[in-house]
Structure 1
Amino acid sequence: MGDAAMTLAPCPPMGWNSWDCFGTTVTEDEVLANARIMAERLLPSGWDTVVVDIAWYDPTARSHGYNAGALLSLDAHGRQLPAPNRFPSAADGAGFGPLAAQVHALGLKFGLHIMRGIPRLAVERNLPVLGTPYTARDIADLTRVCAWNPDNYGLNHDHPGAQAYYDGQVAQFASWGVDFIKADDMQAPYYADEIEAYARAIERSGREIVLSLSPGTHLSTEHVAHLRRHAQMWRISDDLWDRWEDVHAQFARLARWAPFQQEGGWADADMLPLGRIGIRAERGEPRDSRLTRDEQRTLLTLWAMGRSPFMLGGDLPSTDPGTLDILATPALREVLADSTANRELLREPMDGGELIVWSARSTRSDRVYAAVFWTGDEAHEAQVPLASILGTGHGTISLADLWGGASSPVRVRDGALVAAVAPHGVAWAALDPVR
């Protein structure tokens, strides 16, 4: 599985996910509206994946929570089906096939969220497991249940029917044209047998499908070899929302995981709560992201320098044009897709905040990227010696300001990178040798 996985996600995926704006309640029309804006405004900048998040199989889904005991939409073998009142094209057993086809026609990829295990409703009804003599009760593990979602029981992977259930579920996803699966409740605690079984089911489906694992609560780097063998993305934190403290906490996590980022396997610092969020979400009321523009640039720059996947959470049709412009910034894709040696160079506590410096190198040229972050609440005049970024004997360089000045313009002066960095802001530059 490891070698095959390397053909998928050669660079960190970029896309949109329905969670931050619609929680459990997204509809077919809303998915398509976001897909159309993505294709028109963001696809040229590398954003190409549309993901329907949790509970697409719950006809009674609501804002701010989950429904215990809901009559989920299931087929005769206990596999989830899109709720037809929310996804009309799924009627008559069509599943997500028609919706995926429309997304594909826009030049995009289609993804969905799924919970670990088997629906409790399938166990209550004792539905047969496709292609086996077993039933849902034979394979369920009633002790390995999710702590925060009531939909499923776990699976007993000592029983052959458990793998058969996942095989049948993923085969159905593949028949619908699914390109991306976000599999949840896999890593907290770390369910190695579940991860292996799900990866095996994807391999057996015969379709190339990116596997993203969640959540990332206290995820240790000791699992990295196992993760690389079986998945292309893995979360490294709990849910991230539009709060500066959430963004700030990711500096340490990405610094720890950056050395492990490689083709086909990406530590994921979670979704980007940018644009119009909270419309019918799990947390908060409808709002534009509470992150300032400088905090938004910091988030995006840190994710790019740390090579975290980009999964946007805002509703694109109602997101302000300025945010869409920021998301289309060419440097984001350039650094995310074609950089190496990404690392935190410096973290210096100072009066009023921390000065944090990251660097990376282009895989296509001698270009070096440098990001100078300031976590304080007041602007800070930062000076970072070029030798600490480029090494000694670097020669003359030219500088490109990757945020086009914004509120933290960067320049070279007296052998140093100099910037008046805005509160919670970043100065981001590309340094090119002069021939």
Structure 2
Amino acid sequence: MKKILPYIAYFFILFLYACTNEVDDLFDVPAQQRVNEELKACKQLLTSSENGWRLEYYPSANQSYGGYVMILKFTDKDVTVSSEITASPTKSVTSLYSLKSDMGPTLNFDSYNRILHYFSDPDNKGGAGLGKGYEGDYEFIIQSHSENEIILKGKKTKNIMKMIRMETSGENYLTELLNLRNSITSVQGILGYKGQINGKEISITMPSDRKMSIQVSNNELLNVAYMYTLSGIQFYQPIEIGGKEVTGLDWSKEHTTFTYEGKNLEEVPDPVYPKYLKYLGNYTMTYYFGSTERNIPVKLVNKTYNASNKLYELQGLPFPLQVNYNTEKDCMEILTYTTNDYYVAVWEITGSATLSWSTGLGLIGQLKTGTDNVYEFVDNGVWGSKIARGFILWSASGEYKGFGGDSRFQYIVLTKTKE
């Protein structure tokens, strides 16, 4: 009997093991079937919308850059994407997508799409800079869905984003959206808005990065990311003011201001704006190219005016020159900057003729003694022991001459034309 017992125990263990495998198999097959059925249902839903889906896309884990509209139209294998970021409602790009199972069903945009991957491309110099870009998502967990709405969660950022079934064409939607967005962003010369929301006094400042600061009754500061909609702006998530949830603000084109529950907010004038405006107009730009003096008619026009950037554009040269307004010194300033093709670099000219495109270096326009319209551009004092006396167009391969005209500008003077 003692000899038989070990064999009985051995066969009992084998029996349990076989039963365990059988139970696992019974559950594995239906589970996989359920996953496959869910993926099939998701694909049917994605492809069922004739006009596609509106994705409310927020890059960055803390929504640092606000939200953007993307229109996605699906076939069995492809997705065609258009967006407000192109500023062209008719522009679209088609690429591949897939549905997979990973922590639930996931929607993945596998092949590069220059619109859809704009915010997730680490080679994008915008956002956090080269190597990071805007730190956005291109893979999403499908958290839930109904006939007209799909809730996504970014795998990287964890941001919750919605896809909403489109009732009109993407081109029509984006055209209307861009018109309203331009109406909002074209307002200049104000610091923000003030008024009442749900019985609370509020004041709003709006930087240019689609994030809004709302001061509530002098004791609470709310910072919220937002995106543009057809009626105004929508917050990333609702905020509470006066005991009620506020999901966004409407925009009145007629009164060029935000509204809440039909009541207009009041604009807060920017006292700096008139100072910025006084430099706009026609000039003669005098400079030297080598030993040759140039006298070129140019025009200084408004480019950008908001809380973080106050810029002009100088037109009339072979290229558009960006000129800053220095708020502290109340003057024009030519600062170093980079484009995709070239740098605008400050240049010593004399001595070692050093040049640099380090941030903050530049030339300020000082009013010439005894005049009221002649501005001499001199070093802004940031370059340490070196003195900038002009600027030069530069690139990774040396002096940039892609515009076909002058690329060196020495001893610059702007003389404003008197009306």
TM-score normalised to structure 2 length: 0.28
Greater helix content: 1
Greater strand content: 2
User: Between Structure 1 and Structure 2, whose CA radius of gyration is higher?
Assistant: 2
TM-score normalised to structure 1 length: 0.27
Higher relative contact order (CA 8 A, sep 6+): 1
